Amino acid sequence: MSFLIKGGTVVGPAGPTPADVLVDGETIAAVFAPDRGPEDVETIDATGKYVIPGAIDAHTHMQMPFGGTEASDTFATGTRAAAFGGTTTIVDFAIQRYGEVVQDGLAAWHAKTAGNCHIDYGFHMILGGVDDESLKAMDQLVADEGITSFKLFMAYPGVFYSDDGQILRAMQKARDNGAMIMMHAENGPAIDVLVKQALERGETDPYYHGVTRPQELEAEATSRAIWLASVAADCPLYIVHLSASKALEQVAAARDAGRNVFAETCPQYLYLTLEDQLGAPGFEGAKWVCSTPLRSKHESHRADLWRGLRTNDLAVVSTDHCPFCMKDQKEMGVGDFSKIPNGIGGVEHRVDLLYQGVVDGKLSLGRWVETIATTPARMFGMYPRKGVIAPGSDADIVLYDPAGRTRIGVETHHMNMDYSAWEGWEIAGKVDTVISRGAVLVQGDEYKGRAGHGRYVPRGLSEYLV
């Protein structure tokens, strides 16, 4: 089926241009100057709307076993919620646990997703055990499975933690096969000492989750990862969920030196704080327990992160969507913050929350699209199939209403969470229509998608490497 998206303003990294977009089947057939397209096709009226590439969330954890429980969104509920928010592709993290065959971990994630996803999806691979076998598996995943990025953890000793020698070996392998190393950069052994000391002092509230993960331990790990990658002949390195000014300084210095170092941040670090959210009265703060943690409002983190997005020291905004309900899940940590499962759900809200940054004068329109769609596609080997409105690309398209408003809350969101980290926020802009490979998934408040529409996206290498 063909249709013309007519009368809108197409926005790409270079900014806004009035244009009409012809969709034929699953792909974009042509982009026309206004009123120059065919007249004998169905039209979707985009007057007054931005027409942007479907957003790509390069960091999600649907139904992830973690912290003694499992993330509360399934691939079905989470990808449906993502679609409501204008996201048409996610890259989730398949997991190899310590001692497990990497390919078995991957097969488990394919089994979870098959037939369940409402939008397209790819996988990064978490390596929970770096050894000869898993290093060999990295080559196979890059060559045959469309998995070109591997996450390692400098935190969580005894769970996902890799030591420096393991990290270096994985980086050397990535340098050889072109893969990206994604790093959870926090000094886990040092954090564990601080956590134990805090609990011994009776500091058990969620607030202390943040206090025991100071920015110095994020900056130190970020710096160490950057130097290890340097030793591995400038292996491609991507710092995930960067939250703190001092960590950003490390990334900026590496980038100024011309290194293959990249970073993402997440909406929670751009807006929320240690004091106002994690420090909420009683156990409320558990809603915002995530790692890396929210940072102090008395320091310049949020302003620095917005600036980093403008200067490209932060290339991508992802959500790190890792939702847990308060009931029975976050509650596991009543009386001991270290038992609160780490994670915030937000896959539905990233596009809107970043658009608010445009309205606030913190990002240009072009940079909005670049950080939520185009760069994730290029960073993770999906471009130009995804992340751009151009002939031949998948017809993943969002009509965005800049005059609309979005009110966020548990009553209206579609994620499987019994609270919202953004409860009561009313922000500018509204997702109007969401199209995935030519199929309309969302029109106004109506949902027209289905589980099983989403397909696995095998990925190539990052485009940004030198």
- Taking the C-alpha atoms of residue 11 and residue 30, their distance in angstroms, rounded to an integer, is 15
- Taking the C-alpha atoms of residue 380 and residue 298, their distance in angstroms, rounded to an integer, is 35
Residue number with CB closer to Zn ion (250 or 436) = 250
State the Rg of the chain over Cα.
Answer: 21
Q: What is the closest distance, in whole angstroms, from the C-beta atom of residue 22 to ligand DUC in the complex?
A: 39
Residue number with CB closer to ligand DUC (102 or 322) = 322
Closest CA to 180 of 375, 387, 391, 424: 375
Residue 265: is the preceding peptide bond cis (ω within 30°)?
no
Q: What is the closest distance, in whole angstroms, from the C-beta atom of residue 197 to ligand DUC in the complex?
A: 21
- Taking the C-alpha atoms of residue 328 and residue 415, their distance in angstroms, rounded to an integer, is 17
Which residue type, as a one-letter code, is found at position 118?
H
Please provide the DSSP assignment of 192-229 as one string.
HHHHHHHHHTT--STHHHHHTS-HHHHHHHHHHHHHHH
- Taking the C-alpha atoms of residue 309 and residue 436, their distance in angstroms, rounded to an integer, is 27
By CB under 5 A, tell whether 57 contacts Zn ion.
no
Residue number with CB closer to ligand DUC (337 or 355) = 337
By CB under 5 A, tell whether 186 contacts Zn ion.
no
Residue 350, contacted partner among Zn ion, ligand DUC, none, CB below 5-8 A by kind: none
| Cβ–Cβ < 8 Å for 260, 313 | no
By CB under 5 A, tell whether 348 contacts Zn ion.
no
- Taking the C-alpha atoms of residue 292 and residue 156, their distance in angstroms, rounded to an integer, is 12
Residue number with CB closer to ligand DUC (241 or 453) = 241
- Taking the C-alpha atoms of residue 246 and residue 188, their distance in angstroms, rounded to an integer, is 17
Residue 343, contacted partner among Zn ion, ligand DUC, none, CB below 5-8 A by kind: ligand DUC
Q: Which helix (H) or strand (E) holds 126?
A: strand 120-127
Q: What is the closest distance, in whole angstroms, from the C-beta atom of residue 240 to Zn ion in the complex?
A: 5
Residue number with CB closer to Zn ion (268 or 416) = 268
> In sequence order, which ranges of 102-214 are alpha helices (DSSP H)?
102-113, 132-140, 164-177, 188-200, 207-211
Selected range binding Zn ion among 168-176, 250-258, 315-323, 444-452, rule: CB under 5 A: 315-323
Residue 259, contacted partner among ligand DUC, Zn ion, none, CB below 5-8 A by kind: none
Please provide the DSSP assignment of 395-418 as one string.
--EEEEEEEEEEE--TTT--SS-S
Among 73, 120, 205, 320, binds Zn ion (CB under 5 A): 320
- Taking the C-alpha atoms of residue 59 and residue 102, their distance in angstroms, rounded to an integer, is 19
By CB under 5 A, tell whether 362 contacts Zn ion.
no
Chain residue at closest Cβ approach to Zn ion: 184
By CB under 5 A, tell whether 124 contacts Zn ion.
no
Residue 148, contacted partner among Zn ion, ligand DUC, none, CB below 5-8 A by kind: none
Residue 384: is the preceding peptide bond cis (ω within 30°)?
yes
Residue 342, contacted partner among Zn ion, ligand DUC, none, CB below 5-8 A by kind: ligand DUC
By CB under 5 A, tell whether 367 contacts Zn ion.
no
Residue number with CB closer to ligand DUC (5 or 125) = 125
- In the complex, the residues that contact ligand DUC under the rule CB under 6 A are 61, 184, 240-241, 291, 320, 322, 342-343
Residue number with CB closer to Zn ion (379 or 397) = 379
Residue 217, contacted partner among Zn ion, ligand DUC, none, CB below 5-8 A by kind: none
Residue 255, contacted partner among ligand DUC, Zn ion, none, CB below 5-8 A by kind: none
Instruction: Determine the size of the site formed for Zn ion (CB under 5 A).
Output: 2
Q: What is the closest distance, in whole angstroms, from the C-beta atom of residue 402 to ligand DUC in the complex?
A: 31
- Phi and psi torsions of 64, nearest 5°: -85, 125
Residue number with CB closer to ligand DUC (20 or 92) = 92
Helix 188-200 with 215-231: angle, nearest 10 deg: 160
Residue 213, contacted partner among Zn ion, ligand DUC, none, CB below 5-8 A by kind: none
Selected range binding Zn ion among 73-81, 170-178, 249-257, 316-324, rule: CB under 5 A: 316-324
Residue number with CB closer to Zn ion (213 or 378) = 213
By CB under 5 A, tell whether 184 contacts Zn ion.
yes
Q: What is the closest distance, in whole angstroms, from the C-beta atom of residue 184 to ligand DUC in the complex?
A: 5
Sequence-separated contacts (24+) of 137-143 with Cβ below 8 Å: 137/96, 137/101, 137/102, 137/103, 138/102, 138/170, 138/173, 138/174, 138/177, 138/179, 139/173, 139/176, 139/177, 140/103, 141/102, 141/103, 141/106, 142/177, 142/178, 142/179, 142/461, 143/177
> What does the binding site for Zn ion look like in residue numbers (CB under 5 A)?
184, 320
